[in-house]
Amino acid sequence: MKSLPNNLKNKIVLLRVDINSDIKNGKVILGERIKQSAETINLLKKRKAKTVVIAHQGRPGKSDFLSLKQHAKLLNKFTKIKFVDDIIGKKAEIEIKNLKNREAILLDNIRKLKDEFNPGNNKIIKFFAPLVDIYINDAFSVCHRKQTSIVSFPKYFKSCAGPFLEKEIDALKKIKIKNCLYVLGGAKPSDNIKLFGKNKVLACGLFGQVCFINKGKKLGQQERYLKKGKYFIKIPKNKLKNVETPVDFAVRINSKRIEIPVENFPSKYKIFDIGRLTIKKYAEEIKKAKAIYMKGPAGDCADKIFCKGTFAILRAISKNNGFSLIGGGHLSDAVEASGISKKKFGHVSLSGGALLRYLAGEKLPGLEVLK
Ligand code: 3PG
**Which of residues 116, 136, 165 is at a domain's end?**
165
Same domain, 198 and 341: yes
Q: Ligand 1 pocket check: which of 54, 117, 138, 141 to mutate, most ligand atoms within 8 Å of Cβ?
A: 141
Q: Examine residue 114 and state whether it is found in any structural domain, yes or no.
A: yes
Going by pLDDT thresholds of 50, 70 and 90, the confidence category of residue 357 is confident
Q: What is the pTM of this model?
A: 0.86
**What is the rounded distance in angstroms from the CA atom of residue 35 to the CA atom of residue 77?**
9
CA of 328 to the centre of ligand 1 (A): 9
Mean pLDDT estimate for the chain: 95
CA of 309 to the centre of ligand 1 (A): 23
Structural domain count of the chain: 2
Residue 178 pLDDT greater than 80, yes or no = no
Q: Examine residue 1 and state whether it is found in any structural domain, yes or no.
A: no
Same domain, 135 and 187: no
Alpha helices, H only, 132-220: 153-156, 163-173, 189-192, 205-214
Going by pLDDT thresholds of 50, 70 and 90, the confidence category of residue 24 is confident
Q: What is the CA radius of gyration of the chain?
A: 21
Q: Which atom of ligand 1 is nearest to the CA of 59?
A: 10
Same domain, 255 and 111: no
**What is the rounded distance in angstroms from the CA atom of residue 164 to the CA atom of residue 179?**
28
Domain coverage including residue 110? 12-165
Same domain, 188 and 319: yes
Torsion-angle region of 102 (φ positive above 0: left; ψ -120 to 50: alpha; else: beta): left
**What is the rounded distance in angstroms from the CA atom of residue 25 to the CA atom of residue 368?**
37
Report yes or no: 96 and 131 within 8 Å, Cβ to Cβ: yes
Residue length, the chain? 371
Same domain, 149 and 242: no
Any idea what the CATH number is for the domain that residue 38 is in? 3.40.50.1260
Residue 269 pLDDT greater than 80, yes or no = yes
Same domain, 254 and 308: yes
Same domain, 158 and 181: no
20 close to ligand 1 (CB < 6 Angstrom) = yes
CA of 7 to the centre of ligand 1 (A): 31
Instruction: Name the closest-CA residue to atom 5, ligand 1.
Output: 20
Q: For residue 44, give the H/E element and its range.
A: helix 32-46
**Which of residues 165, 194, 218 is at a domain's end?**
165
Same domain, 182 and 157: no
Same domain, 148 and 245: no
Same domain, 195 and 124: no
152 close to ligand 1 (CB < 6 Angstrom) = no
Question: Sign of the CA dihedral 351, 51, 148, 171?
Answer: negative
Report yes or no: 4 and 163 within 8 Å, Cβ to Cβ: yes
297 close to ligand 1 (CB < 6 Angstrom) = no
**What is the rounded distance in angstroms from the CA atom of residue 65 to the CA atom of residue 62?**
6
**Closest by CA position to 111, among listed 124, 127, 120:** 124
Question: pLDDT tens digits, residue range 145-157?
Answer: 999 999 999 999 9
Going by pLDDT thresholds of 50, 70 and 90, the confidence category of residue 232 is very high
CA dist 243 → 58, 133, 154, 250, 266 (Å): 28, 49, 39, 20, 21
Q: Examine residue 365 and state whether it is found in any structural domain, yes or no.
A: no
Q: Give 72's strand partners.
A: none
Report yes or no: 16 and 139 within 8 Å, Cβ to Cβ: yes
Give the 3-state secondary structure of residue 114. helix
190 close to ligand 1 (CB < 6 Angstrom) = no
CA dist 342 → 74, 188, 279 (Å): 23, 24, 21
Q: Examine residue 368 and state whether it is found in any structural domain, yes or no.
A: no
Q: Which atom of ligand 1 is nearest to the CA of 191?
A: 9
Q: Examine residue 130 and state whether it is found in any structural domain, yes or no.
A: yes
Same domain, 102 and 235: no
Q: Examine residue 7 and state whether it is found in any structural domain, yes or no.
A: no
18 close to ligand 1 (CB < 6 Angstrom) = yes
Q: Examine residue 281 and state whether it is found in any structural domain, yes or no.
A: yes
**Which of residues 111, 146, 165 is at a domain's end?**
165
Same domain, 290 and 241: yes
Name residues whose C-beta falls within 8 Å of residue 16's C-beta, 6 or more positions apart in sequence: 54, 55, 135, 136, 137, 138, 139, 142, 149, 150, 153, 162
Q: Examine residue 6 and state whether it is found in any structural domain, yes or no.
A: no
